[in-house]
């Protein structure tokens, strides 16, 4: 619900449990942030902008206009005129001047949610959401800025995006366009973010914020392994079950900055948007620039509530396509099984054994094209290597289909190898700075996707392969960051557009792919989890979570990922041991249980693993089919964190009716001479009784407990001998 109080000049945006308020002040129509928090009945909080105290508004005290700019809680602050905090908008005129200040011009309240041209974004019907378009202007710079706010009626989410329009006669240069800002009083917040590196993505970090700027960011051309486009400010006492959280997540897959700045007056400005490093967008007269979307969540009920809000929004209002609410096929990928050493006979031998065990799809990974026998060549040559695949791709796919399996394939469409036919024919197709030696990574360069002819050529190659056989799954990979940011297809004054144009091109290609092949299951990947973000989820319902498939390492990775993203989005496989990344050995049973909290599949040579492991696969397949609807659609709760306690991990999913629940408990390290572990379950109906079954422990008899007892008194988990043990606990409501 969105209302405008014309007398008070206040906008009030209400979700089911929150209120967001914006005020227009003074005769110059400054746009200020009033309030974001628990839902208010009345729109009477405009005093929070403090315009009735020094330095007052400029119409009352123009001699201190600069001081006003430097403390007013701007709804969308610009820079260069006296607000010395981090601004959201940077503009340089054709004359080289900087400085911008926005004033309210008009507004429109719209049923539903407009799409963002060329960009992924959440969506909703006219019944599901309402949008405020707040039009601001700077007549001196010749510019309008449209601030879009969408309120979802079924969850506590407000999304924001920004469009900048050049209304003047000369070109403007945008040097910064953030998508969201909140100016509010600092309440001694902690900052929660997600950090990592290759093979250890999205580990949760929580730390106090102090005066000045603290941020997380990426200018690697991707959302990155290292930082994540998510930021939350939380009360010092916030826990899983209680406490205030202000969270932002960026629906974008490229460079970003998310930050909190505490000012001299103990206010905090929280911002998120495209990273301004090496960004400069030339905006000709009459043109517009659309910034990506930010998802904002407020709750006073702790991290479990925040997680539930994000999960419900993304399942219902972001993920699209045939597999949005559908069980995914159990796949086996040949990468860790064979690497590049495979041919048709080897793949069919894996497929034959896999089909006997209940696996449903074979995925052929890197090495099937050009002269690709190692990772040093042939990227860009997307033609089948028939020396490896005797009889061609269609023959292989048909034979796999005859075994009752679907077929999937790997691509890395954004890259080019120096040793490739494509590079020899078109060396100018790689991003490069003229006269400077190219920076290789994995012995490959990045294609210049800012040029439409290259986008069309690469998409044409990929689509031709997909048209040639019954391919039902694509793993889209990106194995290096961007560097050497130069394009021979753009003039000098547009070289600062490359990063963003690159991301737009990736979106364009994936949009074309999903429209031409609507039944295709697309899984994004970027050296594991370097591009696990909401922008990618708009095109693919699942993303490869990490190249680290070790079950114990995956606990922290999957915990951080599930803080924001539904379990159904997390690509998770059972892999061989010793683990290829770590050399660690964990029980096959534990590997299966940890992978169940994701899309579930296998990354191994099923013809070579120990017989006792192979014999477990049918039971794991049955387990997946029994619990996947619950895992995919249920509400997720974090009970314990191995990353924090260093001993055990525990999470739970519960169905919407509170009739079924599944608890996963992983005993990472055993302890000698201790009693059983007591855990408090969550999300149950306290008035129902549940039959509690330890699924993989026949020594524990099923018992019936009330939901009230399980949540308040707890459930005892006996210790197992040994480390790296996992249990599933099945709860089903019973008739009283």
Cis ω for the linkage preceding 578 (within 30 of 0): yes
Neighbours of 530 (CB within 10 A): 29
Q: Are 648 and 640 in contact (CB under 8 A)?
A: yes
* Whole-angstrom distance, CA of residue 321 vs CA of residue 604: 29
pLDDT of residue 697: 85
Sheet of 2-5: strand order equals: 2-5, 10-14, 18-25, 30-38
pLDDT of residue 673: 86
Spatial separation of the C-alpha atoms in residues 257 and 229, rounded to whole Å: 7
681-735 confidence digits (pLDDT tens): 999 999 999 999 999 888 889 999 999 999 999 999 998 899 999 999 999 999 8
How much is the pLDDT for 699?
A: 84
* pLDDT given at position 43: 81
Q: What are phi and psi of 729, to 5 degrees?
A: -120, 120
Instruction: Return the pLDDT at 698.
Output: 80
Strand partners, 107: 134
**Which has the closest alpha carbon to 84: 70, 101, 100?**
70
Q: How far apart are CA 626 and CA 288, in angstroms?
A: 50
Q: In whole angstroms, how far apart are CA 227 and each of 206, 209, 516? A: 13, 17, 33
What's the pLDDT tens digit per position in 623-680?
Answer: 999 999 999 999 999 999 999 999 999 999 999 999 999 999 999 999 988 999 999 9
The catalytically annotated residue of 138, 156, 183, 477 is 477
Band (pLDDT 50/70/90 cuts) for residue 736 is confident
Residues composing the chain = 736
10 Å Cβ neighbour count for 110?
Answer: 15
Half-sphere exposure of 374 (CA within 13 A, CB side): 4
Q: Are strands 542-544 and 570-571 parallel, antiparallel or unpaired?
A: parallel
Q: CA-CA distances (angstroms) from residue 429 to 438, 448, 603, 701?
A: 12, 6, 34, 65
CA dist 575 to 475, 567, 599, 665, Å?
17, 19, 14, 20
Give 331-350 as a DSSP string: EEESHHHHTT---HHHHHHH
Whether residue 595 contacts residue 571, with contact meaning beta carbons closer than 8 Å, is answered with: no
The verdict on whether 14 is a catalytic residue reads no
pLDDT digits (tens, 9 = 90+) for 46-66: 899 999 999 999 999 999 999
Q: Residue 498: beta bridge partners?
A: none
Contacts of 326 (CB under 8 A, 6+ apart): none
Task: Characterize 347-359 residue by residue with b for buried, 16 or more Cβ atoms within 10 angstroms of its Cβ, and e for exposed.
Answer: bbebbbbbbebbb
Provide mean pLDDT across the span 423-432: 98
Structure confidence at residue 696 (pLDDT): 87
d(CA 427, CA 463): 23
Predicted confidence at residue 79, as pLDDT, reads 87
- pLDDT tens digit sequence for 479-496: 999 999 999 999 999 999
Q: What is the pLDDT of residue 44?
A: 83
Enumerate the H helices of 358-402 as residue ranges. Answer: 392-402
Handedness of CA 641, 527, 372, 520 (dihedral sign): positive
Report the mean per-residue pLDDT for the chain: 96
Cα 671 to Cα 725: distance, rounded to the nearest angstrom: 12
For residues 69-79, average pLDDT:
94
**pTM across the whole model:** 0.97
Percent of the chain's residues with pLDDT above 70: 100
| Mean pLDDT in residue range 151-171 | 97
Q: What does the pLDDT look like over 169-206, one tens digit per residue?
A: 999 999 999 999 999 999 999 999 999 999 999 999 99
The continuous run of DSSP H or E covering 183 comes out as: strand 172-185
Between CA 620 and CA 360 the distance in angstroms is 13
> Pairing relation of β-strands 406-411 and 361-364?
parallel
From residue 130, give the alpha-carbon distance in Å to each of 42, 124, 126, 150: 19, 9, 7, 6
Mapping DSSP to helix (H, G, I), strand (E, B) and coil, where does residue 287 land?
A: coil
Q: How far apart are CA 547 and CA 694, in angstroms?
A: 31
Over its C-alpha atoms, the chain yields an Rg (Å, rounded) of: 27
207 pairs with which residues across the strands? 191
As a whole number of angstroms, the distance between CA 650 and CA 634 comes to 16
Name the nearest CA neighbour of 643 among 198, 201, 218. Answer: 201
Handedness of CA 249, 538, 408, 324 (dihedral sign): positive
**Cα–Cα distance for residue pair 275/499, rounded to 1 Å:** 10
Order of strands, edge to edge, in the sheet holding 361-364? Answer: 570-571, 542-544, 521-524, 473-476, 406-411, 361-364, 331-333, 601-603, 574-575
Query: 3-class DSSP state for residue 556?
Result: helix
The number of beta carbons lying within 10 Å of the beta carbon of residue 106 is: 11
Q: How far is CA 637 from the centre of its chain?
A: 19
CA distance 335 to 568: 22
338 and 346 in contact (C-beta within 8 Å)?
A: yes
What digits encode the pLDDT tens for the residues 568-616?
Answer: 999 999 999 999 999 999 999 999 999 999 999 999 999 999 999 999 9
Task: Tell me the pLDDT tens digit for each residue of 4-51.
Answer: 999 999 999 999 999 999 999 999 999 999 999 999 998 888 899 999
Q: Is the peptide bond before 118 cis (omega within 30 degrees of 0)?
A: no
Would you give the distance in Å from CA 626 to the centre of its chain? Answer: 27
Q: Where are the alpha helices (DSSP H) in 569-638?
A: 588-596, 611-614, 617-633
Quick check: is 547 catalytic?
A: yes
User: Which of 315, 258, 261 lies closest to 292 in space, CA to CA?
Assistant: 258
> In the chain, what are the domains?
2-317 (2.70.98.60), 331-633 (3.20.20.70), 639-734 (2.60.40.1180)
3-state secondary structure of 30: strand
Give the confidence band of 262 by pLDDT, cuts at 50, 70, 90: very high
315: confidence class by pLDDT, cuts 50, 70, 90: very high
Among 649, 679, 651, residue whose Cα is nearest residue 666: 649
Distance (Å) of CA 684 to CA 639, 658, 707: 13, 6, 6
Cβ-count burial 195-220 (b if 16+ within 10 Å, e if not): bbebbbbbbbeeeebeeeebbbbbbb
Element (H, E) at 707: helix 707-712
What pLDDT, on a 0 to 100 scale, did the predictor assign at position 525? 98
State how far Cα 519 lies from the chain centre.
Answer: 23
Q: For residues 439 and 484, is the Cβ–Cβ distance under 8 A?
A: yes
Among 14, 366, 547, 576, the one annotated catalytic: 547
Query: What is the average per-residue pLDDT within 137-164?
Result: 96
């Amino acid at each position: 619900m969105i209302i405008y109080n014309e007398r008070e000049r206040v906008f009030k945006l209400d979700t089911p449990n929150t209120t967001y308020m914006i005020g227009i002040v003074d005769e110059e129509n400054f746009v200020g942030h009033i309030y974001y928090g628990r839902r208010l009945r009345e729109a009477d909080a405009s005093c929070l902008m403090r315009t009735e105290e020094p330095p007052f508004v400029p119409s009352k005290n123009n001699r201190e206009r600069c001081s006003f700019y430097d403390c007013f809680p701007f709804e969308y602050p610009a820079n260069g005129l006296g607000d010395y905090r981090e601004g959201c908008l940077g503009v340089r005129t054709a004359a080289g001047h900087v400085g911008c200040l926005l004033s309210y011009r008009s507004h429109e309240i719209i049923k539903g949610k407009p799409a963002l041209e060329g960009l992924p974004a959440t969506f909703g019907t006219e019944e599901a959401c309402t949008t405020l378009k707040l039009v601001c202007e700077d007549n001196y710079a010749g510019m309008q800025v449209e601030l879009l706010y969408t309120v979802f009626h079924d969850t506590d989410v407000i999304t924001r995006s920004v469009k900048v329009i050049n209304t003047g006669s000369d070109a403007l240069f945008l040097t910064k366009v953030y998508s969201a800002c909140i100016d509010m009083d600092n309440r001694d917040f902690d900052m929660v973010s997600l950090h990592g590196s290759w093979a250890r993505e999205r580990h949760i970090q929580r730390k106090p914020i102090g005066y000045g700027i603290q941020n997380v960011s990426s200018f690697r051309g991707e959302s990155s392994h290292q930082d994540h486009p998510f930021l939350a400010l939380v009360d010092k006492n916030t826990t899983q079950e209680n406490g205030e959280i202000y969270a932002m997540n960026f629906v974008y897959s490229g460079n970003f900055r998310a930050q909190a700045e505490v000012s001299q007056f103990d206010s905090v400005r929280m911002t998120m948007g495209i990273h301004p490093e090496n960004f400069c967008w030339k905006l000709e007269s009459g043109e517009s620039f659309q910034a990506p979307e930010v998802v904002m969540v407020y709750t006073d009920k702790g991290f479990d509530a925040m997680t539930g809000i994000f999960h419900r929004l993304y399942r219902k209002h972001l993920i699209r396509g045939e597999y949005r609410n559908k069980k995914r096929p159990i796949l086996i990928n040949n990468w860790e099984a064979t690497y590049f050493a495979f041919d048709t006979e080897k793949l069919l031998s894996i497929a034959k054994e896999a089909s006997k065990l209940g696996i449903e799809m074979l995925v052929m990974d890197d090495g099937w094209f050009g002269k690709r026998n190692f990772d040093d060549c042939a990227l860009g040559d997307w033609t089948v290597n028939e020396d490896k695949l005797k009889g061609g791709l269609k023959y292989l796919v048909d034979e796999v289909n005859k075994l009752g399996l679907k077929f999937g394939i790997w691509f890395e469409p954004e890259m080019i190898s120096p040793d490739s036919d494509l590079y020899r024919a078109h060396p100018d197709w790689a991003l490069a700075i003229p006269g400077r030696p190219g920076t290789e990574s994995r012995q490959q360069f990045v294609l210049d996707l800012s040029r439409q002819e290259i986008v069309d050529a690469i998409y044409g190659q990929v689509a031709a392969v997909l048209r040639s056989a019954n391919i039902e799954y694509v793993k889209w990979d990106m194995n290096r960051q961007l560097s050497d940011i130069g394009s021979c297809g753009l003039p000098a004054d547009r070289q600062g557009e490359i990063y963003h144009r690159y991301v737009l091109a990736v979106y364009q290609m994936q949009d074309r792919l999903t429209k031409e092949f609507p039944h295709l299951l697309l899984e994004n990947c970027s050296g594991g989890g370097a591009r696990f973000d909401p922008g990618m989820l708009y095109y693919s319902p699942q993303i490869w979570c990490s190249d680290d498939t070790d079950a114990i390492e995956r606990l922290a990775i999957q915990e951080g990922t599930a803080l924001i993203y539904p379990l159904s989005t997390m690509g998770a496989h059972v892999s061989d041991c010793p683990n290829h990344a770590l050399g660690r050995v964990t029980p096959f049973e534990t590997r299966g249980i940890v992978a169940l909290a994701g899309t579930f599949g296998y990354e191994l040579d099923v013809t070579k693993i120990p017989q006792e492991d192979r014999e477990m696969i049918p039971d794991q397949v049955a387990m997946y089919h029994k619990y996947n609807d619950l895992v995919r659609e249920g509400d997720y709760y974090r009970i314990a964190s191995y990353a924090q306690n260093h001993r055990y991990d525990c999470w739970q999913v519960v169905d919407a009716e509170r009739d079924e629940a599944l608890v996963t408990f992983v005993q990472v390290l055993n302890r000698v001479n201790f009693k059983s572990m007591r855990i408090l379950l969550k999300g149950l109906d306290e008035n129902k009784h549940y039959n509690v079954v330890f699924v993989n422990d026949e020594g524990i008899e099923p018992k019936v407990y009330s939901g009230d007892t399980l949540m308040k008194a707890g459930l005892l988990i006996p210790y197992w001998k040994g480390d790296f043990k996992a249990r599933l606990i099945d709860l089903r409501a019973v008739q009283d």
